[in-house]
Amino acid sequence: MKLSSRLQTIDDMVERLYGHIWDCCCDHGFLGQQLLRRQAGITIHFVDIVEHLMVALETDLNALETERLWKVHCLDVSHLPLLHEEKSFTNCPSEMSKTNSSDDHLIIIAGVGGERLIELMEGIIKRHPNKRLEFLLCPVHHNFKVREFLNDQNFGLQKEVLVKENKRFYEVLHVSTQAGQEVSLVGDEMWNLQDNDHQLYLKRTIDHYRHKLNDSSMNAMRILSAYEMVGA
Ligand SMILES: C[S@@+](CC[C@H](N)C(=O)[O-])C[C@H]1O[C@@H](n2cnc3c(N)ncnc32)[C@H](O)[C@@H]1O
């Protein structure tokens, strides 16, 4: 199975072995299955709120011959049970020595709207207030809002990539509470303005906020000014 370019980009951004990788809002679980195949995590967790999807996915996963552990969770991502999973780690000490500690989670949230994604992250942060958290995020729209939220919550940037799929653009953000680099509100290192696609995405984004200037519910002028400074 070939991943879409957006999911392939996210897969490429998982650059080391993790203790737990959470494919949140996983739908059919394509991304998590790829991570399972290439053994990117000791345990790969598949999480979605739709029960019949998770039942079908569990059947598919049972048919795979894989040495890696996987778990299927039918739940709201804002209730992610990270602490519970740490306790269950004590039975595989040799594998854990390959990662830094048992407290080693990568949480992937992709393919949901930016506002929903913020709600899900708020739930996770609230449940794990003093925990080191690491996310790979790929919101659908509302990237500025997501980036503002990440700044407010003191997340730092590890990497960001712009990806085009079916004429649409997506920003993929790798962030953690440990990273020192500030998350830019409009993106910083993701831009390659020599690339026609990147120019197109910037133009589309600027046009979008120009059309929103009369919308009193959002601060479009401030956002527009910030995007107009990209590459200036
Ligand atoms: C469009 S799919 C995204 C699939 C995949 N992550 C991707 O990027 O292609 C969105 C999925 O999010 C799930 N979802 C929405 N809200 C959720 C929540 N609060 N908790 C868990 N799953 C949720 C939906 O059931 C749906 O399967």
Express each pLDDT in 114-146 by its tens digit: 999 999 999 999 999 989 999 999 999 999 999
Q: What is the 8-class DSSP label of residue 170? A: E
> What per-residue confidence (pLDDT) applies to 102?
65
The H or E element that residue 115 is part of is: helix 114-127
Q: Which residues contact 189 (CB under 8 A, 6 or more apart)?
A: 157, 159, 160
- Determine contact, residues 130/103, Cβ cutoff 8 Å: no
Residues 75 and 98: their CA atoms lie apart, in Å, by 29
Instruction: Count Cα neighbours of 186 within 13 Å in the Cβ-side half-sphere.
Output: 19
Tokens read off for 182: 């500030």
Q: Of 25, 115, 117, 119, which is best to mutate to test ligand 1, by the most ligand atoms within 8 angstroms of its C-beta?
A: 25
Q: Which amino acid is at 100?
A: N
Instruction: Give the Å distance between the CA of 230 and the centre of ligand 1.
Output: 31
Q: Of 24, 48, 78, 170, which is best to mutate to test ligand 1, by the most ligand atoms within 8 angstroms of its C-beta?
A: 48
Spatial CA neighbour of 172 closest among 108, 82, 106: 108
pTM equals: 0.94
Residue 214 confidence class, pLDDT cut points 50, 70, 90: confident
Instruction: Give the Å distance between the CA of 222 and the centre of ligand 1.
Output: 31
Residue 95 confidence class, pLDDT cut points 50, 70, 90: low
Residues 107 and 121: their CA atoms lie apart, in Å, by 10
Instruction: Give the Å distance between the CA of 45 and the centre of ligand 1.
Output: 14
Instruction: Give the Å distance between the CA of 112 and the centre of ligand 1.
Output: 6
- Determine contact, residues 3/34, Cβ cutoff 8 Å: yes
Residues 24 and 31: their CA atoms lie apart, in Å, by 10
Which residues form ligand 1's pocket by a CB distance below 6 Å?
7, 25-27, 47-50, 53, 76-77, 110-112, 120
